[in-house]
Every structure is written in structure tokens, then in C-alpha cells.
Amino acid sequence: MLRDQDIREPLFEFLEDKFDKIRIIEEKQIAKSRADVMVVLPDSLVGIEIKSDADTYARLERQVKDYNRFFDFNYLVVGSTHARHAAEHVPDFWGIISAEELEAGIDFLVLREPSENKRAQKTYKMKRKLSILWRPELAHLQEINNMPKYKQRSKDFVINKIMEKVDWNTLHSQISEELFERDYNTINEIIAKYKHK
């Protein structure tokens, strides 16, 4: 029986082989759910929910709604005992990956590739994607796009201004680039520096 912790590391290796440039961020809070994995790709964010053989689908309906609010693409990764019925529990634009334990290790089979999440209205999804960024990261977006600083304004105000002023195709790439560069070891220092500018 595969458990969540058995799946994660082999899954990350599988994803690193699958995508050219990738950053993996675990346990990301999104609305009322916690995304097991947020995958940063050069122009998109991918949400991954893991349901191991030890899990149930009890919370999945709510989780799907939250994932759809934030991510461009989504995958459900399931233990082999769930593989047969996984498609019944997620929208048809979600990808599905089955994890199976073999003697040589864990094997992953893509049962269905995801298509772009168009369920969320583009405006709201972009707003939520930008909300993942920290204030110093948003400030960097303002700087590289030649925008005013809006230092005394709220994060929400800044996000709306960025959405107004920057081409969204460019913005998808810029959000990803900020997340590729994010350094969790120096966050306190980065925020302190931002506040004292």
C-alpha cells in the first residue's frame, strides 16, 4: 500500500524528467485548501493533489474548486487502488497519474494529460496567481515593467494595477520567473529590506 510520503520523492524525480525547467513547491496554501505540490513551469503553474492508497476522496471536491482558482493546469496523482475510478472525481481537464509500486521502485503512468484550466474566469485566476507572490516580488514586477512603486498602497491595489498595465502573456512568464528565483532561506531579510526602502 503506497502512502503519500512513499510517492512524493519518486514523483518529483518523474516530474523533473518530464519537464525541462521546473521548480517544485510543497504544501502551498490556496484558499481553504493546501496544495500538496505546486509546480512552477516557465509560463504556467501546475497544481498536484496526491491521493495515495491510504487516502479517501472525502475532501477532494472542495480541493478541486480551490486548485481551479489558482492553477493553469492540474493533476490528480493516485495510488493504483484509486486509478480505476480517479476520472470520476475530477473534471475532464485535469490530468491523472497513477503510481504503482514495483520491485524496482515506484512507476508512474500518465493516464490522462491535463488541458488548460478554463473553468476559472481569467481575471480571477490571474489575480490569484499574482497573490501567490510576496510584496518584494510584486515590487520587482512593477520595477521591470516601469510602473510606479505604489509603496503605501495595499497588495490588492498593486495586483490590480499590474494586471491593468502588463500584457498577460508576459505576466504568466514573469510570475513563474519570480517563483523560480524565490529563496525561502532569505525571506525575512528580503521583506525587511523591502519595508525599509
- 129 three-state secondary structure: helix
Q: Are 174 and 120 in contact (CB under 8 A)?
A: no
Cell triple for 158: 498593486
Residues 6+ apart with CB under 8 A from 78: 50, 51, 52, 86, 96, 97, 98, 99
Residue with cell 519518486: 10
Which long-range CB contacts under 8 A does 105-109 form with residues at least 24 apart? 105/10, 106/2, 106/6, 106/7, 106/10, 106/11, 108/10, 108/11, 108/14, 108/77
pLDDT at 197: 63
pLDDT at 45: 97
43-73 pLDDT tens trace: 999 999 999 878 877 889 999 999 999 999 9
pTM: 0.91
Please give the Cα distance from 4 to 34 (Å, whole number): 14
Cell triple for 153: 498602497
Q: Are 112 and 20 in contact (CB under 8 A)?
A: no
Average pLDDT of adjacent 10-residue blocks, the chain of 197 residues: 86 95 96 95 96 84 94 94 88 95 89 88 89 95 95 94 95 97 80 69
**What residue ranges define each of the domains in the chain, with the CATH number in brackets?**
4-112 (3.40.1350.60), 122-195 (no CATH)
Q: Which residues pair with 30 in a beta bridge?
A: 33
163-174 pLDDT tens trace: 999 999 999 999
Q: Are 28 and 4 in contact (CB under 8 A)?
A: no
